[in-house]
Structures are given as C-alpha cells and as structure tokens.
Amino acid sequence: MLVGLETGDDAAIYRIDERVALVLTLDFFAPIVDDPFDYGQIAVANALSDVYAVGGIPLTALNIAAFPRDLGPDVIARVLEGGQVKAEEAGILIIGGHTVDDKEPKYGLAVTGIVTQGEQITNANAQPGDVLVLTKAIGSGVITTAGKAGTAPEEVIRNAVQSMATLNRGAANAMLEVGVSSATDVTGFGLLGHLSQMMKASGLSAVLSRSAVPVLPGVEELLEAGNVSGGTSRNMEALGDAVSLEDGVSELDFVLMADAQTSGGMLISVPEDRAGALVKSLIANETLYSEVIGEVVTGDAGTIVVRK
C-alpha cells in the first residue's frame, strides 16, 4: 500500500508490480441540482477527480446507485445517461454496478485507475516556499443551497453546473507535465478544510490571499442572503483555531472559503520556480482557472492565515 488512510488522501494507491500501481476510490451523493442529466455528469466528474488528484489515469468504474421505486425509469435513465456521457468524455468504461432501493436518490462511482510508481502525487508532500494554485472557482455549495430553496438565478446555477461537470483531467495532465509537490481536490471540506488537511499531512502552514481566490458569479449576493449549507457550518466548526483572519477579511469571507464544494478544482502546491510553468500548462490544458492564491510556510501543522 503506497497511499492509505494515514494522510486522508484522495485515493488509495496499491502497488501491483515494480512499475504500476492501482488507484482506488469511490464517491457518491444525493442530488444537488434538479436536472437528472446534470446530476449524473457532476457525480461522475466528482468521483473521477480523486484519481486525477493523485496523478492517476482512470480506467474503469462501477456505478453506485440508490433510487426510490417511485422515481420513474425515465428520470433514472437520465441520471445514468449523464454519468455515461461524462465517463465517455473521460475515456473510461463503466462496466457494471449495483443499485438499491432508497427514499433519497444517490449516485456515484467506484473508480479504478493506474499510476506509474514513483509519479503518484499525495497531499502530504508540500514544501516550504511552495506556491498554491487553484483550478476552479469556489462557491458551488452556496449556489446549490440557494437552488434548493428556489432563490438562485438560472444563469448562476448554469455556471455552477458547468464548473462542477468539468473534468479535472487537464489539471492532472499539467501537474504531471511540470512536476508538483502536492495536490488535492477541493470538495466537501471546502477550500480551507482541504488546504488545512494538506498542510497537516505535510507538517506545514499556509498563507492564503482572499482576493486571489476565484469565486463563481453570483455567489456573494447569495451568501449575503444567508445561503449556507449544513456541511459548510460543520467545516467552520471543524477548522476551529486552525484559521486566522487578518484585517480586511470578513466572517463572510471565512464562510465562503469553508463552503462545502462538489466537484471543485485542484489545489496544487508547486515549487515557486515551477509555478509559472504550471500556470502556462494549466492554460494550455484548458482548465477553468489557474490562479495563484497563496504560499506554503513553516508553522504549526495544518494552520492557515488568510490575508485580504
């Protein structure tokens, strides 16, 4: 076992010979958008992201599904169709799966991939002086929470769906091309939660620039209106004293950066002398963003200072 439970990494990595290792992960969740096709696409993009985060190539997957009997075959078919379309875009095969009867729909994948031994990327190897780069805007949790309440504009929801359904394959390609220290994808623990986890696993601290963090359109207005999910509130509670806010950084900024994401971007720790090359490669690989948002420093493991 090359990567297991110890660091809370994105996927398990198991060596099968001197060159190749298996990458194993699973992820599934209840609907966060109304459209079943979009839901299927997002769920698959989200599950594949864990393989991309460790520098792996996803190969096959098994559907994990729970549907109520009264949902209707047409709706279920659209969920699975959305997942299949996204899997085809990623170049993987969905080769089976399992479905159970459940009152609340749930869908996702168990994914198997490969990585060349020695080229795997973990969340536990950030180095002092590294630059932090983010590849998707944050705020999807705010938007989907408002969407469930019926208060999010359709255009705002569409922008969030486009972001969440975008594969992190381009970011993975860029990371492998340039060579990075560490990486993780930003999902349920929010930007601050996943960054804190990376820093804790690496025994380091981070400084984050709030103004440099990209935010999905319409998020600030929805956040000011009180659209905060339960997952985000739990993230803030879990972070506790690990996060320090400097002057000019508001409590709403803290909420936003702790916002529980679905299928967020890659958070990458890269040596400063390779940061420019990484940004260029991310752009060439057509990632949605390639923003430098902070740096890795020595300090209490897992702590983060947020500047304006």
Please tell me the predicted confidence (pLDDT) of residue 3. 80
Please tell me the predicted confidence (pLDDT) of residue 2. 82
Please tell me the predicted confidence (pLDDT) of residue 148. 92
* 123 in any annotated domain: no
CB 260 within 8 A of CB 189: yes
Beta strands per DSSP E along 57-145: 57-67, 93-101, 106-116, 131-134
For 63, the domain range is: 12-116
CA–CA gap between residue 233 and residue 238 (Å, rounded): 9
278 and 154, same domain (yes or no): yes
Tokens of 18: 């001197």
* 137 in any annotated domain: yes
* 4 in any annotated domain: no
Domain's final residue, options 54, 87, 116: 116
Terminal-to-terminal C-alpha distance of the chain: 41
Taking Cα atoms as reference points, which of 199, 207, 191 lies closest to residue 301?
Answer: 199
The number of folded domains in the chain is 2
291 and 152, same domain (yes or no): yes
* 59 in any annotated domain: yes
3-class state of residue 163 by DSSP: helix
Q: pLDDT tens per residue, the chain (308 residues)?
A: 888 777 677 789 999 999 999 999 999 999 999 999 999 999 999 999 999 999 999 999 999 999 999 998 999 999 999 999 999 999 999 999 999 999 999 999 999 999 998 889 999 999 999 999 999 999 999 999 999 999 999 999 999 999 999 999 999 999 999 999 999 999 999 999 999 999 999 999 999 999 999 999 999 999 999 999 999 999 999 998 999 999 999 999 999 999 999 999 999 999 999 999 999 999 999 999 999 999 999 999 999 999 99
In 92-189, alpha helices (H): 140-149, 154-165, 169-178
295 and 190, same domain (yes or no): yes
Residue 79: which CATH number? 3.30.1330.10
Please tell me the predicted confidence (pLDDT) of residue 4. 74
112 and 139, same domain (yes or no): no
96 and 193, same domain (yes or no): no
CA–CA gap between residue 71 and residue 47 (Å, rounded): 23
Please tell me the predicted confidence (pLDDT) of residue 6. 72
89 and 235, same domain (yes or no): no
Please tell me the predicted confidence (pLDDT) of residue 118. 87
* 176 in any annotated domain: yes
Tokens of 235: 């993230």
Residue 210: which CATH number? 3.90.650.10
22 and 165, same domain (yes or no): no
* 68 in any annotated domain: yes
Q: List Cβ neighbours of 269 (8 Å cut-off, separation of 6 or more).
A: 125, 126, 127, 130, 131, 132, 180, 181, 182, 183, 198, 202, 296
53 and 138, same domain (yes or no): no
64 and 202, same domain (yes or no): no
Q: How many CB atoms are located within 10 Å of the residue 75 CB?
A: 14
